[in-house]
Structures are given as C-alpha cells and as structure tokens.
C-alpha cells in the first residue's frame, strides 16, 4: 500500500471502531428494513 492519505479529516487508513448498532439478519428483517435496503441499490 502507498503512503496514507490525510486531507481535511479524511484518511484511507484503517480505523479501529466498533459498530454501535446490532446487524439485522436478512431473514428476520421487517418489511420497512427490506424496503430501505432496496432503496439503496
């Protein structure tokens, strides 16, 4: 990998963070959650 990019608060470096929301299994997703996913595509 080339040198890290650090410009105006942006970086291409790996960030160490943890998600603060649980993931939703597609098989148990609500119709509203499915609709939101479909809108993203």
List, for residues 1-41, the tens digit of each pLDDT value: 689 999 999 999 998 888 899 989 999 999 999 999 999 98
What's the rounded Cα separation, in Å, for the pair 31 and 28? 9
Side-chain half-sphere CA neighbours of 13 within 13 A? 11
pLDDT score, position 36? 94
Nearest to 12, CA basis, from 25, 3, 24, 22: 3
Nearest to 11, CA basis, from 24, 22, 1: 1
Residues 6+ apart with CB under 8 A from 5: 11, 12
The residue range of the domain holding 28 is 17-41
- The torsion angles phi and psi of 39, rounded to 5 degrees, stand at -70, -25
pLDDT score, position 1? 61
Number of structural domains in the chain: 1
pTM over 0.85: no
- Report yes or no on 2 lying in a domain: no
- Report yes or no on 22 lying in a domain: yes
- Report yes or no on 26 lying in a domain: yes
pLDDT score, position 5? 94
């Amino acid at each position: 990998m080339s040198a890290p990019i650090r410009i105006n608060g942006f970086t291409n470096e790996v960030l160490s963070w943890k998600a603060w929301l649980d993931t939703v299994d597609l098989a148990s997703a609500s119709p509203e959650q499915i609709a939101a996913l479909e809108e993203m595509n």
